[in-house]
Amino acid sequence: MRQEPLEGPWLDDDAGRLIRPYTVSNGRTKPTSQFDLLTLVMATGDRPNNYLGPDHSHVLKLCGGPVSVAEIAAQIAQPAVVTKVLLSDLVDCGAITSRAPGRAPLGNDPTDRDLLEAVLDGLRRRL
């Protein structure tokens, strides 16, 4: 017996998302811009000249303030590589800008125990 989708016509209870991830990126697996998971992206306020698609529009709406690539991937429930392709399309048309994460200077010990304990504490509070 077929059940009604949970959210919209593209989600099915049994099958999950009916549109496969690489369909979203038109089968592309290589973004034209360099991103890592901590890269921050933000909308420029410029709109793309051409309509890119619903997934691009959804991602663009999430870029209202500085947001990481990892957070966007989680919010749109897509693999990081698909998210990077969508973001690179938006960079190419001038709709978003990106900024690589800053690197903290490393002292004698690159594993700061206080920092690691603070991260662990934060994760425990969220779980």
Domain assignment of residue 82, yes or no: yes
Domain assignment of residue 33, yes or no: yes
Q: What is the DSSP string of 64-81?
A: SS-EEHHHHHHHHT--HH
Domain assignment of residue 53, yes or no: yes
Domain assignment of residue 41, yes or no: yes
Question: What is the pLDDT at residue 101?
Answer: 80
Query: Model-level pTM?
Result: 0.65
Domain assignment of residue 30, yes or no: yes
Name which residue leads in pLDDT, 26 or 15.
26
Q: Side by side, which strands form the sheet with 96-99?
A: 67-68, 40-43, 96-99
Name which residue leads in pLDDT, 35 or 119.
35
Domain assignment of residue 75, yes or no: yes
Domain assignment of residue 58, yes or no: yes
Whether 74 has a pLDDT exceeding 90, the answer reads: yes
Domain assignment of residue 115, yes or no: no
Question: Could you list the residue range(s) of the whole structural domain that residue 23 is in?
Answer: 11-103
Total domains in the fold of the chain: 1
